[in-house]
Each structure stands twice: as C-alpha cells, then as structure tokens.
Amino acid sequence: MELFKVDVLGRDFLAVAQELVLLSFALGVLLLGVILKGDRRRYTGYVALFGYVLAFLPLLGAIGRGYEAFSGMVVLDPFSLFFKVLILVVGFLVVLLSLDYTSREGIAFGEYYALVLLASAGMMLMAGAAHLVTLFLGLEIMSIAIYALAGIMREDARSVEAAFKYFLLGAFASGFLLYGMALTYASTGALHLREIEGVLAQKAWLTSFPLVLVGLGLLLVGFGFKLALVPFHMWTPDVYEGAPTSITAFMATGVKAAAFAGLLRVFFTALPALEGHWRELLWVLAVATMTLGNLVALRQEDVKRMLAYSSIAHAGYIMVGFVAATELGRAAVLFYLFAYAFMNIGAFAVVALLGRRGAPNTLLEDYAGVGFKHPLLAVAMAVFLFSLAGVPPTAGFMAKFYVFSAAVKAGYYWLAVLGVLNSAVAAYYYLRVMVYMYFREPKEGLQTGYPSFAGAVAILIALWGVFQLGIMPSDFLALAQRSVQVF
C-alpha cells in the first residue's frame, strides 16, 4: 500500500508553490528578526517585499492549468490564480506601506512581516481550496495572523481593544462556519466541494431537507463575519480604527478578497443546487449592507472609521454582483475586488502617511488644509476618494458599472437601483474629506506627515492601478471572465 500519494516533484507542489515561497520567507524573516538587532530589524521588511516579488514567479508555470492536487485538497485553476495574484498584490502593497510606518510606530519586528506573509499564505489557501478542510484551515491561518497583527501596538489601548474584539467575535464566527461545514457533511456525507455538488445533484430531494439549509445558513454567517456583511458587521469600525493603519488596509482588502474567494468557491462549486435559497437571502444582505454602511458613514468624524463603514458598504456592492450569479456577475465581483484593493490601500496609505508617532491624525479636522501642506498626498487622496465614490474615469466607476449592469441583466432592477442610490449617498462623505482638505484652514500647531519613500511608491502603484482599471478595463474584465469559467 502506497503511503504518500503525493507526486513529489511535480504538479502537486506547483499548485501551492506560491504559498510555499511565502512560507519560507515568513520563516526566514522570523529568523532574520532574531539575528538583527535594534533599528536594523526594519530590514526584515525589505526581505518580505522580495518574498512577495519572488512568489509571482511560480505563476509562470501555472497559467492556464486546471487540476486538483494533494488528493483533491487544493485546486490550481484560473480562478485560484486570479485571487492569488490579487492577494500577492495586496500583500506587496501592504508591506511597501508598512516599511516606514512600522519603524515610525516602533513595531518593525521580524514577527510583524512574518505574520503578514503567513496571513497572505492563508488567504491564498482559501482561494485555492477545493475541500472544506483546506478552506477552514486557510481561513484560520489568515485569521489568527490578523488577530495578532491587529493588536500589535501594545501601548495603544485601541489596538488592544481591536485585537480582542476581533479575536473573540472571529472565534465565534469560525465556530459558526465550522458548524455549517459539519452539518453540510452530515447531510451530504462529503467534504470535497465537487463531491458535495455531486451528492446534491444526485439526490435532489436533499435540497428540500432543512438540515442542508441550516448548514448553508451557518456557512453564510461564518463568511458574513469575515466579509462584514451587515448583521455581522459590528466589529468592523472599532477594529479598523484601532488596528495599525497598514493592517487595516490589509484587512479591508486582503481578508475581504479571500473571504469572497471562499464564498464564491463554496456557493458556486458546491451548493449551486441551493441557489434558489441563497439568492434571496443574499439580496437582502446586500441591500442591508450597502444602506447601513453608507448611512452610518455619513456621520463619522474619524477618517479611519469612515473608511471602515465605507468598506462595509463596498462589500454590499460586491454582493450585488454575487446575487446576479451570472458569469458577468461573478466576473464583476472579481473585477471589483481588484479595483477596490487598489483604491482602498491607496486611501489607507495616505492616511498612514499623514500620521505621526503618537498622533495618528485621523480625525476629519486634522485633514483641514492638508491640500496646501501636502499637495501631492492630497491629490492622491482625492483620486482614491473619487474612485471609492465611483466617479469616472477611475477603477471604482468601472467596477460599480459592471456590478450594476450584471444585476440589471440578471433581472434584479431594484437591486441595481438601490445600489446606484447608495452610491449617490456615499459621494457625500467622500467629498466631505475633500472639502476639509481644500476649503478649511489648517488647525494651528498640528504637525502632519511622515516622509516615506516606500509609502509614496505604494501610493503611485495604487494610483496606476486605479487609472489602469478605470480607463482600460476591458482586457482585465475579460481576464476575470476567463477566471470564473471554472464554475
């Protein structure tokens, strides 16, 4: 009897090659952090950055392939590749943004970057999961790393609060997710996503038994927490506000992308037979998420909190594409996630660069007159905010356009109308920041800004992304469409 059915040199390892690169760099960075002393520990960040660049390499061998590896635990297909690239880009930008931010806040340890790399690896595993076990393990690796990262500024009470809140609620959500998986297994007898689909297709009568539906609901709760959909969003503002800004950017883009990857995978690969059930449910969730996120964001006086609520609202927009459930809808989800990653990381990068040690300067008042003190940063911020609001010719506009047109084409007129109305409301609070930046007198004696070359590079890349996806979106949309053809 053959013990290890792993093909040692070939395809199995190619399927997780990117994760392996990130992991080896995570361990390397950890060791380096121990060897280097004092201020020199910030060099670990550059090593981590190199790791992200290197992790792009295995892509070359993986493009266009589609197979399952490790006896069906992970899958390498265009869909997982798309998300892996997205996660790598997010990780790259976050590390770039962290380089000076962490030295400023005194958290530039090897462990910081090791955890970021580990979290990225977990996200990639979620995107490539073909099995509920892999999905859950990927989610947990990501979550645990992020819990620790959220609380990394131990002297800051808000950071500790953020970590604690996120951890407790996240553990609960993991419990829900696991329970949902258990019930799905109990009812179908399968953990492999395609097998679940097969069982549900074969025994159609199963879909009307409530056990499957309870499992579905619990899965949705678990994912809803990571996505911050509305009834499960309570943790978001406090955690986003308290966590270090670089990590907030990571949470808002990376975690969301990975959770959406998992959700798409589970719902479209394993549970398409239940589509009739979950579409209506997600419709309601999408509307509630958009509306509540936008309405509460209107009243926020803190830019990080405002961006937190805005990220809730954006999850709602993305759900619109999900509800449409057509190929265009799914492609729109992927497109939106990529566009959102660029504009959101950009916005958070500006927020990070405007702060100083001990004075994060995230209140709206602190932004008064920034347009004249830091003209370049302010222009970048304006672009990102325009993009978040959905103004052409930015990525945000095209993303919203695709999502809403997918909804219209699928016959969800009301959903599209509500989405557009919401975008109109959202413009108010994004523009409010700009009003403060350009039309208010700067506060006396307030020092803002922290020079960072790496941060500037991150902002430039994000700017490029926002315009690239905004002006020439069709190639990218075609790529997204090819990626979702696996379903």
Selected range binding another protein among 121-129, 220-228, 320-328, 451-459, rule: CB under 8 A: 121-129
Q: Does 244 bind another protein (CB under 8 A)?
A: no
Contact status, residue 292 vs residue 230, Cβ threshold 8 Å: yes
Count of residues interacting with another protein (CB under 8 A): 49
Q: Does 87 bind another protein (CB under 8 A)?
A: no
Identify the burial level of 393 via C-beta atoms within 10 angstroms of its C-beta, where 0-12 means exposed, 13-18 middle and 19 or more buried.
middle
Distance of closest approach, residue 369 Cβ to another protein, in angstroms:
20
Residue 449 Rama label (left phi>0; alpha psi -120 to 50; beta): left
Q: Does 155 bind another protein (CB under 8 A)?
A: yes
Q: Does 125 bind another protein (CB under 8 A)?
A: yes
Other Cβ atoms within 10 Å of 10 Cβ, number: 10
Rounded to 5°, angle at Cα 466 from 291 and 447: 85
Selected range binding another protein among 59-67, 129-137, 255-263, 420-428, rule: CB under 8 A: 129-137
Q: Which ranges constitute the DSSP H helices of 106-156? A: 110-127, 132-150
Among the listed residues 53, 133, 171, 201, the single contact to another protein using CB under 8 A: 133
Residues 433-462 that bind another protein (CB under 8 A): 447
Nearer to another protein, 28 or 329 (CB): 28
How large is the angle between the packed helices 395-409 and 303-324, nearest 10 degrees?
A: 30
Rounded to 5°, angle at Cα 107 from 104 and 109: 125
Q: Does 303 bind another protein (CB under 8 A)?
A: no
Please say whether the dihedral angle defined by the alpha carbons of residues 219, 220, 224 and 230, taken in this order, is positive or negative.
negative
Nearer to another protein, 70 or 476 (CB): 70
Q: Does 140 bind another protein (CB under 8 A)?
A: yes
Distance of closest approach, residue 70 Cβ to another protein, in angstroms:
4
Q: Does 65 bind another protein (CB under 8 A)?
A: no
Q: Does 4 bind another protein (CB under 8 A)?
A: yes
Q: Per-residue contact track with another protein, 409 to 428, x per CB under 8 A?
A: --------------------
Distance of closest approach, residue 20 Cβ to another protein, in angstroms:
11
**Amino acid letter, residue 8:** V
Q: Does 145 bind another protein (CB under 8 A)?
A: yes
Q: Does 148 bind another protein (CB under 8 A)?
A: yes
Q: Per-residue contact track with another protein, 341 to 380, x per CB under 8 A?
A: ---------------xxx----------------------
Closest CA to 323 of 270, 281, 274, 265: 281
Residues 89-108 that bind another protein (CB under 8 A): 104, 106
Closest CA to 232 of 179, 282, 169, 291: 169
Residues 164-223 that bind another protein (CB under 8 A): 187, 189, 209-211, 214
Distance CA 204, CA 276 (A): 13
Nearer to another protein, 135 or 257 (CB): 135
Closest CA to 293 of 326, 315, 322, 260: 315
Residue 442: cis peptide before it, omega within 30 degrees of 0: no
Q: Does 34 bind another protein (CB under 8 A)?
A: no
Distance of closest approach, residue 158 Cβ to another protein, in angstroms:
15
Each residue of 93-130: b (16+ CB within 10 Å) or e? bbbbbbbbbbbbbebbbbbbbbbbbbbbbbbbbbbbbb
Selected range binding another protein among 71-79, 265-273, 316-324, 363-371, rule: CB under 8 A: 71-79
Q: Does 40 bind another protein (CB under 8 A)?
A: no
Q: Does 154 bind another protein (CB under 8 A)?
A: yes
Phi, psi of 165 (to 5 degrees): -60, -45
Distance of closest approach, residue 144 Cβ to another protein, in angstroms:
5
For β-strands 74-76 and 67-69, DSSP reports them as antiparallel
Nearer to another protein, 187 or 483 (CB): 187
CB-based contacts of 211, cutoff 8 Å, min separation 6: 183, 186, 187
CB-based contacts of 19, cutoff 8 Å, min separation 6: 121, 124, 125, 128
Nearer to another protein, 152 or 319 (CB): 152
Nearer to another protein, 205 or 276 (CB): 205
**Amino acid letter, residue 250:** F
Label each residue of 410-429 as H, E or C.
CCCHHHHHHHHHHHHHHHHH
Among the listed residues 147, 223, 240, 476, the single contact to another protein using CB under 8 A: 147
Q: Does 231 bind another protein (CB under 8 A)?
A: no
Q: Looking at the DSSP assignment, which residues form a beta bridge with residue 437? A: none
Q: Does 111 bind another protein (CB under 8 A)?
A: yes
- How far the first Cα of the chain sits from its last, in Å, is 35
Q: Does 80 bind another protein (CB under 8 A)?
A: no
Binding site for another protein (CB under 8 A): 3-6, 23, 30, 70-71, 73-74, 104, 106, 109, 111-112, 114-115, 118-119, 121-122, 125, 131, 133-134, 137-138, 140-141, 144-145, 147-149, 151-152, 154-155, 163, 187, 189, 209-211, 214, 356-358, 447
